Every structure is written in C-alpha cells, then in structure tokens.
A and B are shown apart, each in its own frame.
Chain A
Amino acid sequence: MTSLWPRIEPLLAQVVKPARYIGGELGAQRPDHGPGRVSWVLLYPDTYEIGLPNQGLQILYEILNERPDAAAERSYAPWTDMEAAMRAAGVPLFSVETHRPAAEFDVMAFNLSAELTYTNVLNLVDLAGVPVRSDERELAHPLVVAGGHCAYNPEPLADFVDAFVIGDGEEVVGEMNDVIATWRGDELRRRPDLLRRLAHVPGVYVPWCYEVRYRAGRLAGVVPRWPEVPERVEKRVVADLGAWPYPKHQLVPLVEVVHDRLNVEVFRGCTRGCRFCQAGMITRPVRERPAAQVSAMVRQGLADTGYDEVALTSLSSADFSGIEDAVAAVVGDPGSCGQVSVSLPSLRVDAFTVELAAEIQKVRRTGLTFAPEGGTWRMRRVMNKLIREEDLYSAVDAAFSQGWRRVKLYFLIGLPTETDDDVLGIADLALACAEIGRRHHPSVTVVASVGGFVPKPHTPFQWYGQDTVAELRRKVGLLKEALARARGVTLRWHDPAASAAEGVVSRGDRRMGAVIEHVWRAGGTFQEWSEHFDLARWEEALAACGMTLDEAVYRPRDQDEVLPWDHVSAGLHRDFLWQDWLDALAEAPVEDCRWTPCYDCGACTEAGVEHVVASAVPPAGGSQGTGQDLGTGGSVPVRFRSAVPAGTS
C-alpha cells in the first residue's frame, strides 16, 4: 500500500480550502486493507463540500467496512486548482483516509445524484489513471460502478461504467462484494467473467452484456447478448428500513460542508404522486423507520457528533407518522438546553407543519421554505401537487406570525400545458405572501425561486418535450417584469441553459456518451457550477456527434417509442405512467395511496414489498387530496388580489 501524502502535502499551500484533501473527519474509518478484502473507493463526482454529506455513500461506507471481506474509503472531485496542481505534479486521484491512489482499489464506486456531474465522473476516472471507456480497461484496472437516482437511466454513462446498481444499495453492495471476492480468487480470471457474473446479481445492470439496436435513427431496443442476462433489470428495495440503522457514525467534517448537521432518515419513498418528481416515483413504496429507532438515532447521533442541528430527512418529513414524538424527544431533552434545532427539509405546505416547525425550531429561526411548485391551481392539478392557495397562505401566515422573517417558495416553469397565466400566477402568490407577512412585520422577504422543468425517466412526464432555452427565458422575463417593483419579493431563477444541458443527459440513450466525453475533453468539468458551465460546449458536442437539442431535448416522445431506460424497471407499469400522463393533461388528480386504495402503479407488487406506515390516517392537513376539500383550491381570496400593486400583474 502506498500513501501519496508526502507528494500531496506540498501542493496544499497553493490551493483554496486545503483541508478538503486531508481526511481526518470524526467518524472516519481506519480501513484494514488486509488480504482477502475487496477494497472500494466510494466517490462523489463533485467537491468535498457537496459530496461528503451524501447519505447514500456514508451508509455504504459503514456497511462495507463492517464486513470482514471488504474495506472502503472515500474520494471526491478535487477543485480545479488542486486538479491542476495534481496533474502538474503527476499525483493521481487519491482517497482521503489513507491517501492511496484510487487506481489501487478493486472498485471505484460513484454516486450519481445529478446529471451535470457526469463529466466529472469521466474526469475522476481519468485522474485516477484508469481508461475512461469501459472497453479499454484491463484486468489490473478497478471495476467502475455507479448507483444513485440518476442510474435509473444508465445509458448516457454506459460506455464508461462497468456496472450500475439500480435502487437501494444496502443489500446489493454485499452481494457484489461476494462476486468480486470469488472472482479475485480465480487464478485464470478475466475481466469479462466478472462482468457476466455481476449481471446475474439482481439490481445490477452491466451495459456490456446488452446490445443496443437502432432503427431509422431512433433507439429500437437494448437487448441481452446472452440468454441468462435479464431482459429487464428490476430495482432493489430494502423492505424494512428499521433493519438498516445507518449511518451509525455520521461523518463530521473538519471544514464546513452543505447540510452540515446530523441527518437521520425517517422514511424512504413517497407516494404523494407529484408527476414531475423522479425521486417520488422511483423510490416507492413508503418505508418508515420505527419512531423509537429515529429517537435513538437522533439522541445518539447528537451525543456522538456534537452537532447542534438535526435534520429528519425524507421526501416529505412532516408526513412521518411519528414526527411529533421524534422531535419531542430532542426538544424535551434537558441536555440540549434548547440549543439543538431540528430541521425538516421538504416542509409540507400547511399551517400544521409550521406549528410543528415553530415548536422544534426555537433557535435559528431565519427562513422557512415551501414548494408550491405551480403558480395556479390548474397547474398544480396537472402536476398533482395539490396545494390549495389557502393552505399556502395559512402556512405563510403562521410562519411570519411565529417570528420567521423570510419565506422561500420553490416553483417550476416549463411544465406541460403551461400558459402565461400559470407563470404569472407565481408572481401573484409571492406578492400575496409578502402582503401577509407585512401584517406581522414591516420588513419581510419572500423569495420566489424558479427552476426550469426537466422531464425525468420513470415519471408520467417522461414523454413531454422540454421547453426551449428561449421559451424558459421568456417566461423568466414575464416574472421579472411582473415583480420589477414588488416590495418584499425577490425573484431567483435557475439558468435555463443549464436546464437544457441537464435535459440532454437526463433522457439520453447510449449515443449520448460520446457527447459527454466530448464536453469533458473540451474541459467541461464542474458543470453544476455556473462559473464553469457553458451551454455552447454542449451544443458543439451535440453537433460533433450529429445530434441537436431539438431531437434530444425539446422533442415530445411518442406513446409507443422505445425509451432508453425501458430495460430498467423502477417497478412502475408503463401503462400506469401513460394513464397518469393522460390524467395530467386532463387536470385530474390522484390521491396519496398511503391512505387510500391502491391504484396499481406496480411499485409494491413488482418488488414484493408493501408500505410501512405506522399511522392509519393521513396527517392533519391532509395529503394530496386525502382528507382535503379540494373544491376551493382554485379561488384566490379577493383581499390578496387587491394587495397586488397596480401594473405588476
């Protein structure tokens, strides 16, 4: 084993935030690389500050290191200054624990959480000194694997990644370790043998085992090359989250990172059925962690880490059946002395949730965030985000009356069937919220944050033709104009050009790999960072590969078109998704199936699992039509309309 530390340390005086490269976090493992252990380097293809908090990697890190036949370390993308210094000094990518070269590990395992990090995946493999293309790797090279939400459309990275994991990683990572350990023991081993054996592990997709067929310039199918390779790779689902109380020792970094707090996952999966949301579709069904385990993980985690903030994470934490008991255990603990705050990412939009937030966030009451997503009730019915205006206003009223001074509202634009009235509804809502706030405090801020919608695989909107950059810019312009002289409202928007590039990768087929490689070779790393992003690079790459944004991004897909991810299954029936798409166009909502009869989306039946939800009834305030009166959702109270300054709507 070689430590690169003596060669790394002289570089640190030249770079910003050098502590990102030293390791030494509380909770970091000191892995034993003894013989017989399969060594993994777990990689997040963005900076340390973004990647370290990733809970998926932290879970796998512990699970692997608990095994007697595995050892796992971590690595992240060095920032551009460090990468330049490393390349100039001939220092390859290294792990942060023992500073071993990444290429000395048996497995390089990437988390894929955002499409625009894909060029960084290539860059990290290259920086490790490993050929970026799968078919150029030899026996001595590490196996390159990837998992995470973006792996549900693996094709754009299929040329570069040896094996993808679809779904929850807790169980499958051990099964892969077994296969690799057995293969390593074979004196006559060849790399293709390993790939074929891995293709037999449920939930593992090995692109090399599939042939891609095209007809008339369009994808015609991705089919197994051998009969024993599964035609469809079904996602893995952990049935009982209570059996996996990870991370047990959350990493506490030495430098400031995003989500710098204790994170305890209270449930996985979501059945609110928001049609734009890939996470909600692919992670079904809902599996709650037992409330007692949540409380124990919070108490133990705070005592171990010294954090003064804990986030109860999930896709909609206020829906957790044991939410009040879980937070009462923290708030009522005299040891915390009122200094510990609890945060609930993805707040549900209702007053009950704000009351809960007020109870648990006695300190650091700076801002609350809600996600109404659509500007009008019609739009929200299309996307199945069934928030009534009175729900939003009562939530905002409660927030401002409880001492918050800043409320952030998340919206999407570029949605199916969207009209200019729907877009301008965003301005109306934001102005009305600011007006409500001023009843409680003379200076309040409402931030309206607007992102361009990118259709995602395995959702009812996967057939939709994404809005063009020009159209998204025009819609942002409408909002800028509407809010130009607005008091107390700040408009923020995501770069429409970045949405276009995300769209290129999101629904791309295997041919998109050449585009990604082209962008990377042209220097396009850190594409999630506005200072490094340039759409022109993507357009050049598309042109060089004979493709266009029109074909790749803006084109609606046909009902019977083969989609690049059809051979990967999230459990959802294609018929269900298509019907939900038709329902969206008809503005017809569907209820949250946690508390209403099953409408057979396929997620439970295909995976042989069920919802694990402790509460038999929906939460106070209702959920997606369950326990709600939706008749009044579209009416905006007149007093708020009159509060809108003339000339702004």
Chain B
Amino acid sequence: MPSRSGGDRSRSASAGPAGPAPGSLARVRVRFAKLGKVRWTSHRDVARMWERALRRAGLPVAYSGGFSPHPLLSFGLALPTGCESTAEYLDIALDPARAGLGTSKRPAPRATTTHDEPHGAHEQPWSYAPSEQSHVEEWTGQVAEAFAGTSSPLFPDGIEVIGAAALAPGAPSLQQAVVACTWEVDVLAGDPEVDVAEHVAQVMSASSLPVRRERKGRQVEDDLRPSLLAMAVDAGEAPGPPVLRVETATRPRGVRPSELADVLALRLGRAVRTHQWIEIDGGRAEPIVAGPPRAATPGGGAL
C-alpha cells in the first residue's frame, strides 16, 4: 500500500506544535452500525472514514501534537472485514478550546451537490466554546446529542450513528472495559440432515477447542473454548436459515465468526455483532445506552 506522509508518528513528540494539555479534554462515546456493502471495508478504513467525517462536521476534535498530529479517536474491538454490526463504538476526544473555530469561515453550501452537506455547523453546540471549565461537561453532553442527531449523512451508506453520550472523566477506555460481545450468525442452508443444535451442543460440551492461527508469521494454537460463553440456535418461525446467537468473551482472546465456523464444522453466512458488553457493579451493560442519547454516568449507565 502507498505509505502516507502521516505514517511517521514515532518521533512526533520531539518536534512540532504541542498538543492540547491533558485533562483539558472532554470525551464523547459513539455507537454506530456497519451494515451492507460497506462491511467489506476494514477496521482501518472505518477509522479513516471517521477522521474525515469529523472534519467535515467541524467537530472540535482534539489532536495529538508534533509534526504528525492525528485526531485522538479510540476504537474498541476491531470488527473483522466482511462482518456487520449494530454495536460498534468509539471514543472521541474533544478539545473545548477548539470549539467555535472555523465555523465562521465555512463556505455556504452550494446550490447543487451530489452528496449531503454537513449540517449547518453554525447552529451546533460545537460552534461556541463552553464559557467556563465547569460548563465543559454540560457542553460535551450537548455536543454528543447534536452529533448523534445529524451525523449519519457524513458517512458512506451503511455506516449509521445510533447514539452518542458524554463520557465521564476517568471512565475506562473501550479496550479496557468491554468484556463480551453478542453475535448473530446465519447458518447456511446445507444438508437438511445436519442437526445444527447437535453441533452446538458438542462444541459447548467440549473441554477445549484448539484453533490454529497465523500471528506475526508464526503458526500458534489457541483454545477457543474459554471465549465461548454461550451459544443458542434460534430456528424461529420465520423462513430462512437458522440463526446462531453467540456470546463471546474478549479475554483471553476474542472469537472471529470464521473460527466459529471451523469449530462448529458448519458453513456460516452473514455475521452481525449486535452487542458489546461492559461490567458494571457485578452486572453487565452496554457501553452507552442506545437510542436517544443522554449524558451517561461513568461506565455507561444502567441498561
């Protein structure tokens, strides 16, 4: 692949403009979907879509310092290329000091256009800076709410923002917090004699499920069994293939739908990640509440 000039970040701390002071940043957590043709893009492609969408929206995203500044976005678990999801998350760091910049000089929308315009940035909460430090949290909540309501036109078809909420200071990152996922996976119609439930029962009763995988050019063997928390067949009344509902852990490792097909010895089709879970007070919850966004409590609020 062509190397972009932005790739050289290793020495960026030594030179160039300083980044924002730590502690001055606010964070917004976003839930989004990845459905349809766009599922063939990679995790890295999606990250780049976000960087561009946030610039188009004029959101005051915080940047790292140095000669290779990059927006401070942190994504959670990578979604394998080809899988769909209604539960992808990322955390966006906002720099309140950047709020209000750039909106006055943004050009007026053209009369003719082939794609949706960024919604009038001058009307958004991020077009004015919070007046005092104590207002930052409230402002962040407003930014999250407004962004969730206007952002989907900024993305390619299939990427859809479902919700956004301000994140309390000190809340753990997605990488730290997410402990499990729920998947829905179609079983492709095959031999009608194959008893899908029987395959599932065998896998769930196994004491170990070795899978081989290439990691850094070496073949390694992992046990998939500890990561399979639950699995059920949802034959349903509706016509169509049976659907597996699978709960997977993120540690010690995650589970790819392709690995699932291997251990089940079944041909699997469309795979959709429907939930990610974090632990809170001994129970579990989604990283933010989907639906109409509101300011979340630390750790994402009650389910």
Interface residues of A (CB under 8 A from B): 12-13, 17-19, 21-29, 49, 249, 252, 254-260, 296, 299-300, 302-309, 333-339, 341, 343, 362-367, 403
Contact = CB atoms under 8 A, between A and B. Distances in A.
A18 B54 CA distance: 25
A19 B67 contact: no
B226 interface: no
Given A18-B81, A339-B69, A363-B16, A306 B53 contact: yes
The listed residue with most B CB atoms (<10 A of its CB), out of A13, A22, A256, A306, is: A306
Contacts of B17: 338, 362-363
Tell me the dominant secondary structure on chain A's binding face: loop
B68 interface: yes
A254 B36 CA distance: 14
A27 B102 contact: no
Given A254-B38, A303-B118, A337-B98, A49 B103 contact: no
B253 interface: no
B56 A18 contact: no
28 contacts: A19-B42, A22-B41, A27-B115, A29-B114, A49-B1, A249-B113, A249-B115, A254-B41, A255-B41, A256-B44, A258-B2, A296-B107, A299-B107, A300-B110, A303-B56, A303-B106, A306-B51, A306-B52, A306-B55, A306-B56, A335-B58, A335-B106, A336-B102, A337-B101, A339-B55, A362-B17, A364-B5, A364-B8
A466 to B, nearest CB: 29
Contacts of B154: 306
Nearest to B5: A364
The listed residue with most B CB atoms (<10 A of its CB), out of A49, A303, A341, is: A303
Given A27-B115, A367-B5, A12 B38 contact: no
A306 B53 CA distance: 6
Contact of B115 (A26, A296, A337): A26
Contacts of B5: 309, 341, 343, 364, 366-367
A365 B63 CA distance: 16
Contact of A18 (B6, B44, B67, B82): B82
B238 to A, nearest CB: 21
Contact of A13 (B7, B16, B82): B82
A367 B105 CA distance: 31
B21 interface: no
A49 B45 contact: no
B67 A365 contact: yes
A260 B4 contact: yes
Interface of B: 1-2, 4-8, 15-17, 37-38, 40-42, 44-45, 48-49, 51-56, 58, 63, 67-69, 81-82, 98, 101-103, 105-107, 110, 113-115, 118, 154, 156-158
Nearest to B66: A363
B91 to A, nearest CB: 19
A304 B56 CA distance: 6
Contacts of A12: 40, 82
Contacts of B58: 335
Contacts of A306: 51-56, 154
A422 to B, nearest CB: 31
Given A306-B53, A335-B101, A366 B68 contact: yes
A305 B53 CA distance: 8
B63 A339 contact: yes
Nearest to A53: B2
A18 to B, nearest CB: 4
A252 B45 CA distance: 12
A300 B157 CA distance: 22
A343 B6 CA distance: 13
A17 B82 CA distance: 10
A22 B37 contact: yes
The listed residue with most B CB atoms (<10 A of its CB), out of A12, A19, A296, A341, is: A19
The listed residue with most A CB atoms (<10 A of its CB), out of B37, B42, B113, is: B37
Contacts of B113: 249
Nearest to A256: B1
A23 B107 contact: no
Nearest to A12: B40
B52 A307 contact: yes
Contact of B4 (A18, A23, A256, A334): A256
Nearest to B7: A366
A492 to B, nearest CB: 14
B15 A403 contact: yes
Contacts of A26: 52, 115, 156
Contacts of A257: 2
Nearest to A343: B5
Given A12-B82, A254-B45, A305-B56, A260 B2 contact: yes
A19 B41 contact: yes
Contacts of B45: 19, 254-256
A254 B34 CA distance: 13
Nearest to A406: B8
Nearest to B116: A26
A308 B55 contact: yes
B207 to A, nearest CB: 31
The listed residue with most B CB atoms (<10 A of its CB), out of A259, A364, A367, is: A364
Given A249-B113, A300-B107, A334-B105, A24 B2 contact: no
Contact of A49 (B2, B48, B106, B110): B2
Nearest to B41: A19
A5 to B, nearest CB: 8
A76 B113 CA distance: 25
Contacts of A258: 2
Contacts of B158: 24
Nearest to B82: A13
B67 A403 contact: yes
Contacts of A254: 38, 41, 45, 49, 156
Contacts of A252: 52
